[in-house]
Amino acid sequence: MRLAWPARAALVVLGVVLALALLGPLASPWHAEQLDWQRMAVAPGLDGAHWLGTDRLGRDLFVRSLEGVRVSLAIAGLATLVSLVLGVGYGAIAGYAGGRVDALMMRAVDVFYSLPYVFFVILLTVVLERRPATVFLAIGAVGWLTMARVVRGETRRLREREFIEAAVAAGVPAPTILWRHVVPNLAGPVLVYATLTVPGLILLESFLSFLGLGVQEPAASLGNLLAQGAQEMEAAPWMLLVPCSFLIATVLALGFLGEGLRDALDPHEL
Amino acid sequence: MTALAALEQLVVEFRGGGRVLRALDEVSLVIAPGESLGVVGESGSGKSTLARALLGLVAADRGRVLFGGADLATLGGAELRRLRRRMAIIFQNPAASFDPRQTIGDSVGEPLAVHEPALARAARRARVAALLERTGLDPALAARRPHELSGGPCQRAAIARAMIASPQLVVCDEAVSALDVSVQAQIVNLLLELRRENGVALLFISHNLAVVRRLASRVLVLYRGRVVEVAPREALYAAPRHPYTRLLLDSVPSLVPAASQAPRVPPETASPFARDRGCAFVARCPFAIRRCAEVAPPLETVAPGQAVACLRWREGVATRCA
């Protein structure tokens, strides 16, 4: 497998962002919720080691943005993992079973799809506490639906292949066929789709947090940093630009990586 | 003679878009233990459907599929799986019939893993290696993946997989059609040897009459889902009774140009969805009379082990111009 250059560049960007998110805060003397009473809303510079400036309360934006990247990536990554397990399991069973079972299972997915999503999340955040776990639950509940559709379609295609028929003819039980022949052969499209799901879910998390439905202060996520930054946009543009740059870099890099993987893992070469 | 497998008045239909395609139309056949039966016919004649129905891979719409005396339709899932130990299939495209993500060894050993779960992994490996060697492959190929093998070796591995659980019937669905001519002969010989050694029955499906002639002791001719002729090999090749069999025989390319002077037969143009009241071959038959379009010819026994579905077989229309 060989990735095209945009995907390789994206891999480098992603590596840098991840390394920064994990190690960067250690380099700064500040931590995410620490207030610097002497330096509120200062612009990026070397003053007090606030390299990317501070927010209205004097919190270090470098550390807070990286904290936000960590939280957003963790939520999106976990939700993708959940959607992977649920979506692959559900989709593969529906696709392999076919007929009435398939129709019934996929109509259930259609029903979930048609629920007004934001309304569903608001309900969830009202009923449950507003914690990252709630956001994660809300995103995970929806993320697996598309994955289930992708996997179901892919499985229908695989089911027509001769090697599956050969396994059936050899008397291999259906669960074994699913686990040993169907799921491994789904790896390509599933990997690509998962890589493309992460940025979508980061944006979704940011959107929810921006609306105040997601991660709550004083915890940082890219979404609520953007929300605060937007309020000070005219007086202190760096408060918006700093978290925004991290968001764009991460989402774009994941997007390019997914595209690159899709090209590299062209099903015809699998 | 007790039958190993049999089809009784089997009808298989495919539905889609409000139309019905009758792939098999009241097909009956009997396979004796250790026998090798050839099935010939052009594309779309129902050969592959016949193979899949015999293995219980497609369901019968009417009629019965019997294997070892049991009706496949009445068996539960577990019983059917157990029965499948006794049958195997070899497909046309050897590369596609192996899981691209598994090693050849794992794929070949899979029937054993399913039907003899008590067998230790090492013992299974040894059986796989021995059989790979028997089919003319280097046992080291067990560690390779299917895309690393070319057609011939891959088809040998497919034969090894078919044989590993010691089945009583192996269905070869165009098993050599995708291979080079030189490789074809080797594979056919391998199948013949294995049949002699193990006494396994072969159902050999092909559009290539020369290959069927090498392998089959009895040949069944399918046309648009119907059996038009069944005959022992010698009788069929020497004196075909059905005009369609005649056409197939005359279509075998010959190095001697003037060898065949059969009447020209128009190509197939009828829709596969159309159901004919009379004989299915009437539009292409050079010997058709008016009655052929009105009456479906029954499959009549014309000699021991030989049957033909043609209203004019008594006149010997197909045999005469040979």
Distance in angstroms between the alpha carbons of the first and the last residue of chain A:
10
A5-21+61-269 maps to which CATH number? 1.10.3720.10
CA angle at B36 for the pair B32 and B39, rounded to the nearest 5°: 105
The CA distances from residue B139 to B92, B126, B154, B303, in Å, are 23, 9, 13, 48
Residue B160: per-residue pLDDT: 93
Strands B87-90 and B169-173: parallel
Task: State phi, psi for B27 to the nearest 5 degrees.
Answer: -90, 130
Spell out the domains of chain B, with CATH numbers in brackets.
5-100+167-320 (3.40.50.300)
Q: Token pair 């010691």 is at which residue?
A: B166
Say if residues B39 and B47 touch (Cβ distance below 8 Å). yes
Residue B27: its H or E element:
strand B19-31
The domain spans of chain A are 5-21+61-269
pLDDT tens-digit profile of B100-130?
A: 989 999 999 999 999 999 999 999 999 999 9
Contact B82 A162 (CB under 8 A): no
Q: Is the pLDDT of residue B261 over 60?
A: no
Q: Token pair 């098999």 is at which residue?
A: B24
Q: Is the pLDDT of residue B50 over 90?
A: yes
Question: What is the pLDDT confidence band of residue A253, given thresholds at 50, 70 and 90?
Answer: very high
Say if residues A72 and A222 touch (Cβ distance below 8 Å). yes
Q: Which of B86, B89, B90, B99 to mutate to test the interface with A (most CBs of A within 10 A)?
A: B99
Q: Is the pLDDT of residue A245 over 70?
A: yes
Question: What is the pLDDT confidence band of residue B285, given thresholds at 50, 70 and 90?
Answer: confident
Q: How far apart are CA B149 and CA B141, in angstroms?
A: 9
Q: What per-residue string of b and e applies to B287-313 under the rule 16 or more CB within 10 Å gives b? A: bbeeebeeebbebeebeeebbbbbbbb
For the four alpha carbons of A176, A177, A180 and A184, in that order, the dihedral sign comes to: negative
Residue A269: per-residue pLDDT: 45
Residue A270: per-residue pLDDT: 41
pLDDT tens-digit profile of B287-310?
A: 888 888 888 888 888 888 888 888
Q: What per-residue string of b and e applies to A53-62 under the rule 16 or more CB within 10 Å gives b? A: bbbeebbbbb
Q: How far apart are CA B183 and CA A183, in angstroms?
A: 34
Q: What value does the mean pLDDT take over residues B94-98? A: 90
Structure tokens at B196: 């002699």
pTM: 0.80
Q: How far is A195 from chain B (nearest CA, A)?
A: 21
The interface residues of chain B toward chain A in range 115-154, judged by CB-CB distance below 8 A, are 115
Say if residues A1 and A264 touch (Cβ distance below 8 Å). yes
B295 touches chain A (CB under 8 A): no
Contact A168 B57 (CB under 8 A): yes
Strands B218-223 and B226-232: antiparallel
Contact A171 B100 (CB under 8 A): no
Compute the mean pLDDT over every residue in chain B, rounded to the nearest whole number.
Answer: 87
Residue B256: per-residue pLDDT: 59
Residue B322: per-residue pLDDT: 44
Q: What per-residue string of b and e applies to B78-104 under the rule 16 or more CB within 10 Å gives b? A: eebbebbbbbbbbbbbbbbbbbebbbb
A161, A169, A181 member nearest B55 (Cβ): A169
The CA distances from residue B228 to A84, A132, A258, in Å, are 53, 71, 56
Q: Token pair 């057609």 is at which residue?
A: B151
Torsion of CA B315, B319, B321, B322, to 10 degrees: -170
Q: What is the DSSP letter of A68?
A: H
pLDDT tens-digit profile of A130-140?
A: 777 777 777 87
Residue B158: per-residue pLDDT: 93
Q: Out of A36-45, B51-60, B239-248, B273-282, give the one with best mean pLDDT.
A: B51-60
Q: What is the ipTM, given to two decimal places?
A: 0.84
Contact B98 A173 (CB under 8 A): no
Contact A169 B57 (CB under 8 A): yes
Q: Is the pLDDT of residue A209 over 90?
A: no
A183 to chain B: nearest residue by CA? B101
B96, B101, B161 member nearest A162 (Cβ): B96
Question: What is the pLDDT confidence band of residue B257, given thresholds at 50, 70 and 90?
Answer: low
Q: What value does the mean pLDDT take over residues A192-201? A: 86
Q: Which of A168, A191, A269 to mutate to test the interface with B (most CBs of B within 10 A)?
A: A168
At position A209, the amino acid (one-letter code) is S
**What percent of chain B lies above the pLDDT cut of 70?**
93
Contact A171 B82 (CB under 8 A): yes
Residue A266: per-residue pLDDT: 61
pLDDT tens-digit profile of B2-41?
A: 789 999 999 999 887 788 888 898 899 999 999 999 999 8
CA angle at A236 for the pair A232 and A241, rounded to the nearest 5°: 90
Between B10 and B254, residue with greater pLDDT: B10
Residue B65: per-residue pLDDT: 93
Say if residues B244 and B308 touch (Cβ distance below 8 Å). no
Question: What is the pLDDT confidence band of residue B252, given thresholds at 50, 70 and 90?
Answer: confident
Q: Is the pLDDT of residue A176 over 90?
A: yes
pLDDT tens-digit profile of A53-95?
A: 888 888 888 889 999 899 888 888 888 888 899 999 999 999 9
Residue A152: its H or E element:
helix A132-159
Q: What is the DSSP letter of A42?
A: P
Q: What is the DSSP letter of B85?
A: G
pLDDT tens-digit profile of B153-201?
A: 999 999 999 999 999 999 999 888 888 888 888 889 999 999 999 999 9
Residue B218: per-residue pLDDT: 93
Residue A113: per-residue pLDDT: 86
B54 to chain A: nearest residue by CA? A169
Say if residues A14 and A253 touch (Cβ distance below 8 Å). yes
Q: Is the pLDDT of residue A119 over 90?
A: no
B96, B102, B110 member nearest A170 (Cβ): B110
- Helix (H, G, I), strand (E, B), or coil: what is residue B170? strand
Residue B279: per-residue pLDDT: 85
Q: How far is A168 from chain B (nearest CA, A)?
A: 8
Say if residues A226 and A243 touch (Cβ distance below 8 Å). yes
B52 to chain A: nearest residue by CA? A169
Q: What value does the mean pLDDT take over residues A144-156? A: 92
Q: Is the pLDDT of residue A106 over 80?
A: yes
Q: What per-residue string of b and e applies to B168-206 under the rule 16 or more CB within 10 Å gives b? A: bbbbbbbbbebbeeebbebbbebbeebbeeeebbbbbbb
Residue B301: per-residue pLDDT: 86
